[in-house]
Amino acid sequence: MGPLKWFKAKIGSEVSDIPIVSIFSSRPWWLELVLLGLFGLYAVFFAPMHQVLLGAEGMFQGLLVIVTGLLLGPWRGALLSGVIGYFSGYLWAQFYPSSFVGSALLSGAVGMGFGWLGDLLRRAAAQSRELKKAHQALQAAEGRLKQTEKLVFMGELAASIGHEINQPLTIIHMGGELAIRALSQQNLDKVHKNLNLIVGQSERAGKIIHRMKLLAKKEGTKTYETHQLNQLLDIAVKLVAEQLRLESIEVEMNLTSEPTPVHCDSVQLEMVFTNLLLNAKDALSKAPQKRIILSTCHRDGKIVTDIADTGEGIPAELMDQIFLPFFTTKEVGKGTGLGLSISNRIIESHGGELHATSAPGKGSVFSVILPRYHAA
């Protein structure tokens, strides 16, 4: 028994119980060979075209035809694919009472369908793996971005904090010197006075450090919580108070007396407000009247914070560039050009908006609009 007959007999015996007409056994062997040749021709010349036209990739038959055709030459390729196509067609012929070529075509179509579906599933799985990877990378990048942003802001604050903390340190140092000197002179009143001074100034230094800690806290913990926006503004004003004082800038606070709950990362919002206040400070450097007006109010379920200055304003032609990264009008070494773009990103990530309006010569207003938090 040749391999072809053995195969036919085996498959035939396994499916012969199925009560659907098998058309195979009714045809003489030579007709089978002719059909085999025809199907081979179809498989070599038409099926690949079919499949290309359908745009289906990764289909077993088409690939087989092309590969065997290339490796063995068109005739042998046709024969081999014909054999396989024939047997898959033969199998299908057991189930469908149709002609041999028809069933072979049907098997091809079903094969194509499965190939296509398999391909689709594989791609979807690969895509989902890629998405998961990208999501993880994005989360890691976001964490690093937050840290970098914090460093940018801390850097801008560091100079001011350094100056601020040096004042009590100087007084403590001198107080100590004077107390030692007074002790050697047995002047206990003076010793007492200087020691009291040292205690008071240590507390002052401690308060400055405590404010800095507010910005540095919550590393790697859950950061979104409900906070009162008015309180965050208060902290931000205190953080830059020394810089504003050195520039003789007055701060007016018109904060709403209603509660101002926002669901937020408080450190990030403090950074935004600090940044906007320092920008206002820079805008006021040459202004005749140096004033920052800070106000909060409720509007359409949102909380609006306006930070207005009486500075020189922003020229109209620059207004659409101020939120772009690295855009700055400050001299080299003074500003990174990142403050407003980072602030904008932070506010957007809180579901809010950051707007700027400016009247050249009169001043600018930066508005932070955040959704009011409603407890569930």
Interface positions with other proteins (CB under 8 A): 159, 162-163, 166-167, 169-175, 177-178, 197, 201, 245-248
Closer of 35 and 292 to other proteins (Cβ): 292
Q: Judge contact between 193 and 340, C-beta under 8 A.
A: no
Identify whether the C-beta of residue 168 lies closer than 8 Å to the C-beta of residue 202: yes
Nearer to other proteins, 47 or 198 (CB): 198
Strand partners, 356: 366
> At closest approach, how far in Å is the CB of 164 from other proteins?
9
Q: Shortest Cβ distance from residue 170 to other proteins (Å)?
A: 4
Phi and psi (nearest 5°) for 333? 90, -10
Do residues 39 and 55 touch, judged by C-beta distance below 8 A?
no
- Distance, CA of 112 to CA of 105 (rounded, Å): 10
The least CB distance from residue 284 to other proteins, in Å, is 12
Closest CA to 281 of 254, 253, 308: 308
Please report how close the Cβ of residue 177 comes to other proteins at its closest, in angstroms: 5
- Whether residue 236 contacts residue 270, with contact meaning beta carbons closer than 8 Å, is answered with yes
CB of 171 or CB of 294, closer to other proteins: 171
Q: Describe the strand order of the beta sheet including 302-309 as a list of residue ranges.
A: 250-254, 291-299, 302-309, 363-371, 353-359
Which of residues 172 and 232 has its CB atom nearest to other proteins in the complex? 172
| Placement of tokens 């049907």 in the chain | 106
Q: Of 148 and 166, which CB lies nearer to other proteins in the complex structure?
A: 166
Specify the residue for token string 């690949």.
48
Shorter beta-carbon distance to other proteins: residue 64 or 278: 278
What's the closest the beta carbon of residue 307 comes to other proteins, in angstroms? 21
**Rounded to whole angstroms, how far apart are CA atoms 38 and 100?**
11
Beta carbon nearer to other proteins, 19 or 288: 288
Question: Whole-number minimum distance, CB 313 to other proteins, in Å?
Answer: 23
Helices H / strands E in the chain, number of each: 10, 7
E strand or H helix at 298 = strand 291-299
Provide, rounded to whole angstroms, the least separation between the CB of residue 293 and other proteins: 19
CB-based contact 64:115 (threshold 8 Å): no
Strand 250-254 to strand 291-299: parallel, antiparallel, or no bridges (unpaired)? parallel
Please tell me the distance from the alpha carbon of residue 353 to that of residue 90, in angstroms, as a whole number.
Answer: 67
Nearer to other proteins, 169 or 212 (CB): 169
Instruction: Give the nearest distance from C-beta 277 to other proteins in angstroms.
Output: 16
